[in-house]
Chains A and B, each alone.
Chain A
Amino acid sequence: ETGVTQSPTHLIKTRGQQVTLRCSSQSGHNTVSWYQQALGQGPQFIFQYYREEENGRGNFPPRFSGLQFPNYSSELNVNALELDDSALYLCASSWGGRATYGYTFGSGTRLTVV
């Protein structure tokens, strides 16, 4: 059973650029959630995808968008990058949309915006 894999592990971008982060969900899981963890903070919910549709969204602007593919992998896209977008981005997969079903997290992508 493979776990959640995220790519790339590290990324440096310039303010104003666009970035795409990728996530492969754990085998058997059909739901992907994305979280942003800023330095010294806990993970903060961005959005969730269930069966290729956005199932819920946290308090993030529209320039944060996502996709889920038929194989349940997912992408997080961020447009017009700002310095405050520098953070660890975590992907979590689960079976079903409820957080209580148990998430498996990936190791994250560390994004630095300069």
Chain B
Amino acid sequence: DQQVKQNSPSLSVQEGRISILNCDYTNSMFDYFLWYKKYPAEGPTFLISISSIKDKNEDGRFTVFLNKSAKHLSLHIVPSQPGDSAVYFCAASPSGAGSYQLTFGKGTKLSVIP
């Protein structure tokens, strides 16, 4: 049973437009959420995170929105750039028991078209 779901395996966006990547979770114990970016032949790189006490966190072109009641989060990239083309993973962690581990979604491959 997947506790973190990224239902879009891929997404194509024109350069300069907004990219929106979505993530749903089922475990109510999750209260910290992270996005990682992965290029081929490299390990995942931390991008941005959000705690469940917030509904939005912004870092430059990247913004993460959290809707706790819907158990849904999204990553917005504005404006999208060709260098953003990568696989994006959503990950979640509880704050109590099990806080040592991240549960990942399957990833969304973003392609930004010049």
Residue total for A at the interface (Cβ-Cβ under 8 A): 27
Measured CB to CB, the nearest residue on chain A to B89 is A42
Bound together, the chains give a CA A43 to CA B92 distance in angstroms of 12
Bound together, the chains give a CA A42 to CA B9 distance in angstroms of 11
Interface residues of A in 79-114 (CB under 8 A from B): 90, 92, 97-100, 102-108
Interface residues of B in 63-108 (CB under 8 A from A): 89, 91, 93, 95, 98-107
Contacts of A108 in B (CB 8 A): 43
Residue total for B at the interface (Cβ-Cβ under 8 A): 26
Contacts of B101 in A (CB 8 A): 33, 45, 48, 56, 58, 99
Measured CB to CB, the nearest residue on chain B to A3 is B43
In the complex the two chains form, is B93's CB within 8 Å of A40's CB?
A: no
Measured CB to CB, the nearest residue on chain A to B107 is A42
In the complex the two chains form, is B102's CB within 8 Å of A41's CB?
A: no
Contacts of A43 in B (CB 8 A): 44, 89, 102, 104
In the complex the two chains form, is B106's CB within 8 Å of A99's CB?
A: no
Bound together, the chains give a CA A35 to CA B42 distance in angstroms of 14
In the complex the two chains form, is A98's CB within 8 Å of B100's CB?
A: yes
Bound together, the chains give a CA A97 to CA B45 distance in angstroms of 18
Q: Does A55 contact B (CB under 8 A)?
A: yes
Bound together, the chains give a CA A37 to CA B43 distance in angstroms of 11
Q: Distance (Å) between the CB of B108 and the closest chain A CB?
A: 10
Interface pairs A-B: 10 shortest CB-CB: A105-B43, A42-B104, A45-B101, A99-B93, A56-B100, A97-B100, A99-B102, A100-B32, A98-B99, A48-B100
Cβ contacts A to B, 24 pairs, < 8 Å: A35-B104, A40-B106, A42-B4, A42-B6, A42-B91, A42-B105, A43-B89, A43-B102, A45-B103, A56-B100, A97-B100, A98-B93, A98-B100, A99-B91, A99-B99, A99-B102, A100-B49, A100-B93, A100-B99, A104-B46, A105-B36, A105-B44, A107-B41, A107-B43
